[in-house]
Amino acid sequence: MVKLLDCTLRDGGFVNDWEFGRDDIINIFERAVSAGVDIIEIGFLDERRPYDKNRTIMPDAESVNRMFSAPPKGSSMIVGMIDYGTCSIDRIIPCCESVMDGIRVIFKKKNRYDAISFCAQLKEKGYEVFVQPVSITGYSDEEMLDLIERVNELSPTAMSMVDTYGLLHEGGLLHYFELMDKHLDKNIAIGYHAHNNFQLGYSNCIALIERINSASNTENGRLLVVDGSSYGMGKGAGNTPIELLAMYLNKHCGASYDINQMLETIDVSIMKIYLRSPWGYSLKYFLAASNDCHPNYVQHLMQKRSLSVKSINEILESIDGAEKLAYNADHIEGLYQAYQQRESGDAGDLSSLAASLKAGPLLIMGPGPSMEIEKDAIRSFIAKEKPVTVAINYLPEDFYTDYIFISNAKRYITLESRLTDQPAGDEKLPVVIATSNVTRARGSFDYTVDYASLLDPDFEIPDSSLIMLLKLLVRLGVGGVYLAGFDGYTTSQGENYFNIAMEYAFVKDKAEALNLYTKNALNVLSKSIDISFVTSSRYEE
């Protein structure tokens, strides 16, 4: 037997901070009732949040009554959810006084024993209790069997397999199911809460439904509770769409859910949220799931805007097993720094490079808006001084480049074809000077310099490309440089680069600190190399 649970108002709330609005809350609830959904989850109970009639995260059971006492609940079971430790037992009124019939309790593995005791207190208050161990993939078979033994002693309504980060393929899911089906008392339902990191939420649910409806499970009467949400609304990659589950159960299992009511929910209340804040399968959540790790690790590395996807994947593969599912910012930053500092001896004859760069005036070009705004001034400078030109992490469209300095692996990927395809006319390809954290797709770079030796470990962002290049030039004995296109940063998003696609996500919040750091660094370096500006810059202010 299969029952369908709608978690839109709870898990869906991760998308919009549970602010559905009063009218849509009631619409979602009433249509779930009208659709004949067996169990409706109305949100979180969290004492840290004040009551807000527009949000489905409420401080206590009394607040649930305020929110949902008016609309009829039909034959549906109404449940709330508590993340263990966020709502104390004294905030839960007896079930006989509550709109809620049951409470689902999610908990981390380290809290599992205390959480089971909390579930026992809820059961004493008369509630149907659902035991929900999160990140089930973090349990060994021995740990799971131990937990099942304690759950049997509690005898709750259900115990769920919560695949928090969408890591399970069918084989792994069925392994956990069979473990629970064999050892969990038959009167306790088995639940499944999927996430769609691998686009497997729906197919995994179908595999479980087919397994539970097989002859052996039909005979022993095991109940399966499957979670879904409207249009798959939920944290990260989202959940299994409840309308798909209802369609399948209607067609193959003799159910009679009203799909039209579910579609009306999507049309009236869900799509407007999706258009503002879309959820679903994405590269970020694929990378997290494929490396069995918390998605915030992927976010941390993607925000660097300096790593290729290949590099991000390689760093994720090196996360310590004990740190994978509990995000540790210091751990991932340490792995990032170690990856970028992979030892590499300087390749190429740097003495010949030094001679070339010291042959005449040296103009370093950056991607600031002044490259376009002050184009005429740059052209006049080039015509008069005839400098050797070096671009940093990009190739200017309007100016010939003798050299390009690349310290950003992601930028290199976007430039690769332009650095290998012979240009038309008499122009030559620029000579490439790359730091050792950048890997060439084919062959080798003209010059490779050690990445770690150019870093500034004392600054929050230690790999400023301009400062790194200037340090290299000092090492090579270059006496002076001119700078164009190094405007400094502004808090206005999209105004730091003439090409908005080059914008870094962190710039808006760190503009002032970046400007101050760069200005101070240039002052220190100016004792070893003369620095002049061809275009206007905040670093001169």
What's residue 418's pLDDT?
78
What's residue 171's pLDDT?
92
Tokens 């956990």 correspond to 176
Q: Is the pLDDT of residue 509 over 50?
A: yes
Same domain, 397 and 250: no
Total domain count, the chain? 3
CA dihedral 245, 246, 248, 253 (to 10 degrees): 120
Q: Mean pLDDT for the chain?
A: 88
Same domain, 254 and 296: no
Same domain, 204 and 327: no
What's residue 397's pLDDT?
85
What's residue 501's pLDDT?
45
Please give the full DSSP string across 474-508, using - where no structure is assigned: HHHT--EEEEES-----SSTT-SSSSGGG--TTHH
- List the domain range (segments joined by +) for residue 512: 350-540
Average the pLDDT over 401-426 and give the result.
Answer: 80
Same domain, 272 and 193: yes
What's residue 220's pLDDT?
63
Kindly state whether residue 268 falls inside one of the protein's structural domains. Answer: yes
- Burial (Cβ within 10 Å: 0-12, 13-18, ≥19) of residue 216: exposed
What's residue 217's pLDDT?
57
0.75 exceeded by pTM = no
Same domain, 401 and 447: yes
Which SS3 state, helix, strand or coil, does residue 245 take?
helix
Please give the full DSSP string across 397-456, using - where no structure is assigned: SSS--SEEEE--HHHHHHHHHHHHSPPSTT--PPEEEEETT---SSS--SEEE-SGGG--
Q: Decide which of 318, 340, 362 is a domain's last residue.
A: 340
What's residue 456's pLDDT?
79
What's residue 341's pLDDT?
65
Same domain, 267 and 316: no
Q: Is the pLDDT of residue 454 over 90?
A: no
pLDDT tens by residue, 155-203: 999 999 999 888 889 999 999 999 999 999 999 999 999 999 898 999 9
pLDDT band of residue 505 (cuts 50, 70, 90) is very low
Same domain, 335 and 360: no
Tokens 């994405």 correspond to 282
The residues near 161 (Cβ < 8 Å, ≥ 6 apart) are: 136, 168, 173, 176, 177, 180, 190, 191, 192, 193
Q: Is the pLDDT of residue 305 over 80?
A: no
Same domain, 51 and 176: yes
What's residue 191's pLDDT?
96
Kindly state whether residue 486 falls inside one of the protein's structural domains. Answer: yes
Kindly state whether residue 345 falls inside one of the protein's structural domains. Answer: no
Same domain, 506 and 480: yes
What's residue 197's pLDDT?
87
What's residue 500's pLDDT?
41
Q: Is the pLDDT of residue 496 over 70?
A: no
CATH code of residue 217: 3.20.20.70
Same domain, 326 and 453: no
Of 206-210, 249-253, 409-413, 519-523, the one with minimum mean pLDDT is 409-413
User: Residue 278 and residue 272: Cα distance in Å, rounded?
Assistant: 10
pLDDT tens by residue, 334-373: 898 887 666 455 656 688 888 889 888 999 999 999 999 9
Same domain, 374 and 292: no
Q: Is the pLDDT of residue 210 over 70?
A: yes
Same domain, 310 and 365: no
Q: Is the pLDDT of residue 98 over 90?
A: yes
